[in-house]
Structure 1
Amino acid sequence: MLCKNRLLSFSLLFGAWKRLNEFYPTLLFCFIGDLLYASLLHDFRFWEFRPVWMDHLILPTHTIMATAIAILIYPSVFVVYLGRFPKTIFRRLGWIVFWALIFEGIELNAYFNESIIHHYGWTLAYSFLFNIMTLSLLAVHKWKP
């Protein structure tokens, strides 16, 4: 819970909230992609969230945890990620890798805390590549929705 509070505080300080209407279509695109993954691969998830510590009280299942992440975390993160997206190509590539490393660090922490479990051969390396692809796709979508 403390990590989530820090993330929201970080987002309030550094996010481009005044330009939220500019990112809104991309946020919806992200939600739709997440919803498609959740519904189409419900019985064959590559990763599964598991509640640890006090999460059992608030977020008891994978579905509720994934929904909370989509509603609270994605907008908070992407308003910073998209709101401060650089102008030059090399800085853009660095920005994408930087955020993929942030997501990888968060997942690595969750993996060691056993709050995320991988299935069907999914690994942390696949997650890193997935994050690179997703963040690139979101940047392209913001540019050409």
Structure 2
Amino acid sequence: MNLLTLVVLGIISIAACCKFGDLKNWGEYYSTILFYNVGAMTENIITRNRPLWLFYGSHMTDTIADYVFGFLIFPFIIILYLSRYPKARKKRILYTTAFISFMSLVELILYKIQELQYYNGWNVGWSILLYVGVFPLLRLHLKRPLTAMLILFTLTVGGLLCFHIAIID
């Protein structure tokens, strides 16, 4: 992935969170950020020999991009998402849909400008479905962490089976 692309995405996520998020209470969201990173790093380890997507370039480029997304971009997105989560059910659905749509659009753009490539049956449709699961799961983790962990484990096993990913080679 192009370094400039990472810098731009980083600046946008930081600026949006600084403007609209609750950064002063970041500690409230810290365990959910770690939950996200454990899931993302688990995906990286499990799919190392059969990747579903890679940021365009070498494996080193992909690794750097994964770390920037996991430790810079997505933490700010998580804080923004969770700190402004609405109380009214209808607003929650619209709010979550907006985040899913935005992240899906960003990914589609990265794919179209060839900063991201899909492999082994993965495509943008699967990514949208992933975001449909990720954002509600982040909210669930904030309120009921053990339940969210059990669901993540179940979804991970389902993903392994669906995409024929062997844990042991």
Give the TM-score normalised by structure 2: 0.77
Q: 2:33 aligns with which of 16, 27, 33?
A: 27
**Per the alignment, in what secondary structure is the counterpart of residue 95 of structure 2?**
helix
Taking the aligned partners of 2:103 and 2:12, their CA distance within structure 1 comes to 15
Corresponding residue for residue 15 of structure 1: 21
Unaligned runs of 5+ in 1: none
Corresponding residue for residue 71 of structure 2: 71
* Matched residues, number: 139
Which structure has more relative contact order (CA 8 Å, sep 6+)? It is 1
**Per the alignment, in what secondary structure is the counterpart of residue 134 of structure 1?**
helix
Deviation at 1:7, TM superposition (A): 2.4
Deviation at 1:69, TM superposition (A): 0.8
**Per the alignment, in what secondary structure is the counterpart of residue 82 of structure 1?**
helix
1:26-59 superposed Cα distances (whole Å, 9 cap, x missing partner): 11100100110011111111110015xxxx9xx9
Q: 1:46 aligns with which of 49, 52, 57?
A: 52
Give the TM-score normalised by structure 1: 0.89
Corresponding residue for residue 61 of structure 1: 61
C-alpha RMSD over aligned residues: 1.6
Deviation at 1:60, TM superposition (A): 5.0
Deviation at 1:140, TM superposition (A): 0.5
Corresponding residue for residue 106 of structure 2: 106
Taking the aligned partners of 1:118 and 1:2, their CA distance within structure 2 comes to 22
More moved, 76-85 vs 2-11:
2-11
Give the fraction of aligned pairs with identical amino acids, expressed as a percent: 24
Deviation at 1:98, TM superposition (A): 0.8
Unaligned runs of 5+ in 2: 1-6, 146-169
